[in-house]
């Protein structure tokens, strides 16, 4: 494991989106030779700790990404503005409500000081110099039975290149409130981790063929890069779902980072 390493940004293979940094490059080389699903890799940083789950696709579990005060503030900003979540067309122009596929409510919080702080933390984590690549934050509420069937966060590659201004390069899903049972985030293409220490973050009791389900833990987040660095097409292994809430309420936060104009 790696402990206590302060990192200003993460490095992956896309030179357009990331700047080379010799210390991070050495860490990535270490990660490449580490059995990722056998033990969590921890890198301490002020306010949160990251656990590397996978390099291809890049998936990082972030412990303590948002504190309780920030989470409650984001929820309060959204409380009076929730509306039924939609499913978007391939070119992102038409939204349709379809509860059998996606049953949740969403709201975009007003960009006050707390929202800007979370935005900055997100771009600092990734190495961006500005917030301009961020889609407006979305607070999501899942009540009893709330779910989102398996889907990708990206738009189809062809539409992204021809009729849209890029694509969703990365996703943060942050758990703000989890007074619930059920409601995990499932990745059916992932192999379950072999090290029991991951069981504090993932459901180790589900069948092997179900993939990996991250437990909803308030303040923690999952970060993943949606596009493959080699050709910037959507990574096929990042199919995921929000499993049904079987009791209580789950509230999360989506933060999507888009590719730059010259991607």
Complete DSSP assignment for the chain: ---S---SS---S-TTT----HHHHHHHHHHHTS-TTTS-EEEEETTEEEEEEEETTEEEEEETSS-HHHHHHHHHHHTT--EE--EE-TTS--EE--TTTEE-EEE-----HHHHHHHHHHHHHHT-SSGGGBPPPEEEEE-TT-EEEEE-SSPPHHHHHHTSS--EEEEEEEEEEEEEEE--EEETTSPPPSSGGGGGTB-TTS-GGG-EEE---TT-EEEEE-B-TTT-PBPGGG-EEEPPEEEEEEEEEEEEEEPPTT-
- With the CA atoms of 250, 75, 70 and 103 taken in that order, what torsion angle do they form, in degrees rounded to the nearest 10? 40
pTM of the model: 0.84
Nearest CA to 7 out of 53, 69, 70, 62 is that of 62
What per-residue confidence (pLDDT) applies to 1?
24
- Average pLDDT over all residues of the chain: 82
Q: Select the more confidently predicted residue: 58 or 27.
A: 58
Is the pLDDT confidence value at 18 over 70?
A: no
Considering Cα of 237, then 168, then 172, then 141, what sign does the dihedral take? negative
What per-residue confidence (pLDDT) applies to 213?
98
pLDDT band at 155 (very low <50, low <70, confident <90, very high): confident
What per-residue confidence (pLDDT) applies to 30?
57
CATH of span 49-89+98-258? 2.60.120.620
Burial 33-44 (b: 16+ CB within 10 A, else e): eeebbebbbbbe
The CA distance from 188 to 231, in Å, is: 23
The CA distance from 52 to 138, in Å, is: 25
pLDDT in tens, 112-149: 999 999 999 998 888 776 666 899 999 999 999 999 99
C-beta separation of 103 from 140 below 8 A: no
As a whole number of Å, the CA-based R_g of the chain is 18
What per-residue confidence (pLDDT) applies to 33?
54
Provide the percentage of residues in the chain whose pLDDT is more than 90.
61
Give the residue-averaged pLDDT of 56-65. Answer: 94
What per-residue confidence (pLDDT) applies to 130?
67
DSSP bridge pairs for 254:
138, 173
Q: Judge if the upstream peptide bond of residue 156 is cis by omega within 30 degrees of 0.
A: no
Nearest CA to 140 out of 115, 114, 109, 111 is that of 109
Name 93's Cβ contacts closer than 8 Å, sequence gap at least 6. Answer: none
Provide the percentage of residues in the chain whose pLDDT is more than 70.
78
pLDDT in tens, 19-49: 323 333 444 555 555 554 444 555 545 578 8
């Amino acid at each position: 494991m790696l402990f206590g390493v302060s990192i200003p940004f993460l490095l992956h293979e896309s030179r357009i989106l990331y700047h080379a940094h010799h210390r991070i490059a050495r860490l990535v080389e270490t990660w490449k030779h580490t059995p990722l699903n056998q033990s969590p890799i921890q890198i301490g940083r002020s306010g949160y700790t990251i656990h590397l789950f996978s390099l291809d696709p890049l998936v990082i579990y972030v412990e303590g990404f948002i504190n309780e005060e920030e989470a409650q503030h984001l929820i309060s900003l959204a409380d009076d503005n929730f509306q039924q979540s939609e499913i978007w067309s391939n070119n992102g122009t038409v939204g349709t409500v379809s509860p059998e596929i996606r049953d949740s409510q969403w709201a975009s919080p007003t960009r006050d000081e707390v929202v800007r702080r979370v935005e900055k933390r997100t771009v600092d984590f990734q190495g961006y110099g500005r917030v301009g690549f961020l889609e407006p934050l979305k607070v999501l509420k899942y009540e009893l039975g709330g779910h989102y069937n398996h889907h990708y966060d990206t738009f189809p590659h062809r539409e992204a290149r021809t009729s849209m201004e890029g694509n969703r390069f990365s996703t943060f899903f942050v758990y703000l409130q989890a007074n619930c049972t059920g409601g995990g985030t499932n990745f059916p293409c992932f192999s379950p981790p072999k090290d029991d220490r991951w069981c504090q973050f993932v459901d180790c009791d589900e069948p092997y063929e179900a993939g990996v389900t991250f437990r909803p833990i308030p303040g923690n987040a999952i970060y993943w890069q949606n596009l493959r660095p080699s050709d910037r097409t959507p990574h096929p292994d990042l199919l995921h779902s929000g499993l049904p809430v079987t009791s209580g309420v789950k509230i999360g936060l989506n933060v999507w980072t888009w590719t730059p104009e010259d991607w």
